[in-house]
């Protein structure tokens, strides 16, 4: 039997075992397999391993999406984690190439994937509180939110969880250095049933803008003089 003689359910099942590139390649062979590739039921789960993958045309984004993860474990993540005012020109140029890639993609998710149940972001150093806030508002069924090593995430995201994360059951904010103990306690107070994990986050050194650092140094000098 030729593969195209299988019914739609069997073909969807076969496609489900393939990665995104393989699905795209197979879809190019005939019209019937292209239709299977374009079936929203095939795209309930998406995993990405770098921002560059978000720009490819080997997947579909739509209301069937329920599980999404963008996990970037490359050494280059360290460049994105450097405070903006401390980056040299080379580092700034590197970040400028993909600074808005993940945020723009998540904006598309907000607009096209209202049934999202789970989101995992790791190493996404340019994702901001505003982005997570918008996602919580537009994906009201979100049950699991896992953020790891997302340096621009602050207590504002925790506040958004208390206001708009009514369906959330699990929240991880691991190695997010600008999360504070105060913010975590507020979440525990407002949402006691939420499974909250914050590995190392509240114990890391938070970012301070240059003017804040200057004020701190002046205050330290005054204490020394006293």
Rg (CA), the chain: 21
The three-class DSSP label of residue 14 is helix
Q: Hey, which bits of 102-215 come out as E strands?
A: 118-122, 144-148, 170-174, 195-197
Q: How high is the pLDDT of residue 216?
A: 47
Q: Is the dihedral of CA 8, 10, 12, 18 positive or negative?
A: negative
Q: What is the pLDDT of residue 171?
A: 97
Q: Encode the chain (226 residues) as per-residue pLDDT tens digits.
A: 688 889 999 999 999 999 999 999 999 999 999 999 999 999 999 999 999 999 999 999 999 999 999 999 877 777 877 777 777 887 778 778 888 999 999 999 999 999 999 999 999 999 999 999 999 999 999 999 999 999 999 999 999 999 999 999 999 999 999 999 999 999 999 999 999 999 988 877 777 766 655 444 444 454 445 4
pLDDT at 87: 79
What's residue 223's pLDDT? 42
Residue ranges with strand state E in 175-215: 195-197
Burial of 149 (0-12, 13-18, 19+ CB in 10 A): buried
Of 66, 33, 62, the closest CA to residue 47 belongs to 66
pLDDT of the residue at 26: 95
> What single string gives the DSSP state of each residue in 55-74?
G-SSS--STT--EEEEE--S
Helix (H, G, I), strand (E, B) or coil at 195: strand
3-state secondary structure of 197: strand
Question: Which stretches of 150-203 are DSSP H helices?
Answer: 155-164, 181-190
pLDDT for the residue 79? 80
* pLDDT reported for residue 145: 98
Using CA atoms in the order 142, 51, 153, 61, what is the torsion angle rounded to 10 degrees? -20
The answer to whether 137 and 161 have CB atoms below 8 angstroms apart is no
């Amino acid at each position: 039997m030729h593969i195209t003689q299988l019914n739609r359910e069997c073909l969807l099942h076969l496609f489900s075992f393939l990665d995104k590139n393989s699905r795209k390649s197979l879809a190019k062979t005939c019209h019937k397999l292209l239709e299977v590739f374009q079936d929203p039921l095939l795209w309930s789960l998406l995993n990405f391993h770098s921002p560059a993958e978000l720009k490819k045309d080997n997947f579909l984004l739509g209301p069937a999406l329920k599980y999404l993860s963008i996990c970037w474990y490359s050494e280059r993540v360290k460049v994105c984690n450097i405070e903006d005012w401390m980056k040299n020109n080379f580092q700034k140029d590197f970040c400028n190439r993909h600074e808005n890639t993940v945020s723009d993609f998540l904006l598309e998710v907000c607009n096209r994937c209202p049934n999202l149940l789970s989101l995992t972001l790791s190493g996404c150093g340019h994702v901001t509180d505003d982005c997570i806030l918008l996602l919580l508002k537009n994906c009201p069924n979100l049950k699991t939110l896992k953020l790891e090593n997302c340096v621009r995430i602050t207590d504002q995201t925790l506040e958004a969880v208390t206001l708009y994360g009514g369906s959330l059951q699990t929240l991880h904010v691991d190695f997010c250095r600008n999360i504070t103990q105060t913010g975590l306690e507020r979440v525990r107070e407002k949402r006691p049933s939420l499974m909250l994990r914050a590995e190392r986050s509240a114990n890391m050194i938070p970012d301070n803008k240059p003017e804040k650092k200057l004020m701190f140094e002046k205050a330290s000098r005054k204490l020394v003089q006293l």
